[in-house]
Amino acid sequence: MSQRNDASGAPSTPQLIWDFPTRIFHWLLVVCVLGAWLTAESERSRMLHLALGYSAGVLVAWRLIWGFMGSRYARFSNFVRSPVAAVSYLRGYLPAVRAAGHTQTHYAGHNPAGGWAVLALLSAVALVVTTGWLSYQDDSSELWGALHELVGNGIIVLVGVHVAAVIATGVLHRENLVRAMLSGYKRARSGEGIPGAYTLMGLVLAAGMAAFAWLVYSGAFPSLTA
C-alpha cells in the first residue's frame, strides 16, 4: 500500500478509522431523519413518519452509549474538544488565513468543529423526537407540534451545513469523506487505525433497528402513537 502525505505533511496510509456500528448508525440516521422530514406533512404516511422518527431517537440513545464504549474514534473523549479549538480549526478555511501560510491540521477522526456538529445533531434529533412524542401526549399539542416542526426544519439546516463542511474538508485535504464513512477507511498516520470493525455489533444494530421500526409502523406500541 503506497504512502502519501496528509495536509500537515505527515506520512499517511488508508487505515480503518470508522468502525462498522458507527457507519451503520450514520447512514440509518440519515435515512430516518430525511425520511421523517419528507413524510411529516402526509397523514397517509403518519405511521411511517412515527416509525422513522422514533427509530432516530433510539439511534441517538445507542450513539450516546457507543460514545463511551465504542472504538477509539467513536468515543466522545476523542473528538469533543474546546470551543476555542473548534473556532481555531474553522479559521483554517478562510482564504486569507490559508494565504498567510496556515496549514490546517488533519484529523484521523472528527475534527474539533465536526465534534461539536455531532453533538448539535444528536441533541437536535433527541429534541425533535421528544417534542413529537409530547405532541401526541400533552393537552398543549399545538405548542409541542409547532416546536416539533421548528426543530425538524432546523435539523435539515444542520444537515445542509454538515454536507457543505464534508465537501469543503474533503477538498481541502484531498480525500473522499463520504467513501470513508462507507468503507471505514481514511488516511491516517501509521498506527492510528483501529484494530477491528466490530462487525457483529453493527449487524445487531441494523437488525434491531429494522425490527423496532417495523413494530412501531405496525402499531405494536400504542403509547407512542396514541
For 151-198, what is each residue's pLDDT tens digit?
Answer: 999 999 999 999 998 998 888 878 899 999 999 999 888 889 999 999
> How many structural domains is the chain composed of?
1
Whichever domain contains 54, its CATH number is 1.20.950.20
- d(C-alpha 133, C-alpha 53), whole Å: 9
Mean pLDDT within 55-68: 98
Q: Are 22 and 66 in contact (CB under 8 A)?
A: yes
Residue at grid coordinates 462487525: 199
pLDDT level of residue 8 (50, 70, 90 thresholds):
very low
The least confident of 126-135, 148-157, 170-179, 211-220 is 170-179
Strongest mean pLDDT among 62-66, 102-106, 172-176: 62-66
Classified as helix, coil or strand, 40 is coil
C-alpha dihedral (71, 76, 77, 83), degrees to nearest 10? 150
* Percentage of the chain exceeding pLDDT 90: 69
Query: Over 60: is that where the pLDDT of 4 sits?
Result: no
- d(C-alpha 207, C-alpha 192), whole Å: 30
- Residue 80 sits at φ, ψ, to 5 deg, of -90, 105
- d(C-alpha 183, C-alpha 126), whole Å: 27
14 domain-assigned? no
Three cell numbers written together for 132: 413529537
Taking phi over 0 as left and psi of -120 to 50 as alpha, with beta for the rest, 196 belongs to beta
Closest CA to 131 of 211, 45, 56: 56
Mean pLDDT within 214-223: 92
- d(C-alpha 119, C-alpha 9), whole Å: 30
- d(C-alpha 217, C-alpha 132), whole Å: 15
pLDDT level of residue 53 (50, 70, 90 thresholds):
very high
157 domain-assigned? yes
9 domain-assigned? no
Query: Over 70: is that where the pLDDT of 7 sits?
Result: no
1 domain-assigned? no
Sign of CA dihedral 77, 28, 18, 173: negative
Classified as helix, coil or strand, 24 is helix
Query: Over 80: is that where the pLDDT of 6 sits?
Result: no
- Residue 7 sits at φ, ψ, to 5 deg, of -65, -20
Q: What is the mean pLDDT of the chain?
A: 89
The least confident of 86-90, 96-100, 107-111 is 96-100
Bridge-based pairing of strands 4-5 and 185-188 is unpaired
Q: Which domain holds residue 88?
A: 19-225
4 domain-assigned? no
Query: Over 60: is that where the pLDDT of 9 sits?
Result: no
Mean pLDDT within 86-113: 78
5 domain-assigned? no
**Model confidence, pTM:** 0.90
